[in-house]
Amino acid sequence: MEKTFSGRAIELVLGDITRQRVDAIVNAANSTLLGGGGVDGAIHRAGGPAVLDECRTIRAERGECPTGEAVLTGGGGLPARFVIHAVGPVWRGGDQGEPGLLASCYRNALRIAAERGFQSVAFPSISTGIYGYPVSLAASTALTAVASFLSSEAAAPTRVRFVLFDPVTFATYAGALETL
């Protein structure tokens, strides 16, 4: 499924983000940047030690990556050229600024992509795994943030792919994209 915004596409696929051949995939990282479970673990396994080494260097230089922000590394052994590590919010009931933090996470990842001139970027469903963000709420926040970036930024990527790992998450994003 796909929809265009100012000539730029948001595409939804069911699949594994580590297999995407795009300019950059986005990692649902944590503030330590030192790896974790879920999609983070899968990206580090597939990317190999080069990705973790770069994350360690960034961490040593700049400290932890705050929630809502993102940093860039190479893709190591991944088919994607780069990895944008974005830190989503942990769900704490919804009144702790979670929607704003989730939207900044997508915006800041796209800002890095725009600065680098990336044309194609793939996102997972940030925060809806271990971080517990309800998918029904995360889907519309994520899609709205990406659509508004694509509509307003001249240097935005021409194609943003959401790679959803399970059919329920895929169906939820599909419903949200339809009503956008």
> Which C-beta is closer to ligand ADP: that of 4 or that of 174?
174
List interacting residues with ligand ADP (CB under 6 A): 16-18, 28, 38-40, 42, 88, 124-131, 163, 165-166, 169
State in angstroms the smallest separation of the CB of 154 from ligand ADP: 29
Query: Cα–Cα distance between 9 and 132 in angstroms, integer?
Result: 28
State in angstroms the smallest separation of the CB of 159 from ligand ADP: 17
Query: Cα–Cα distance between 151 and 7 in angstroms, integer?
Result: 8
> Which C-beta is closer to ligand ADP: that of 110 or that of 126?
126
How many residues belong to the chain? 180
Residues acting as catalytic residues: 40
Query: Cα–Cα distance between 4 and 8 in angstroms, integer?
Result: 5
Rg of the chain taking only CA atoms, in angstroms: 15
Query: Cα–Cα distance between 128 and 138 in angstroms, integer?
Result: 7
> Which C-beta is closer to ligand ADP: that of 4 or that of 171?
171
State in angstroms the smallest separation of the CB of 138 from ligand ADP: 9
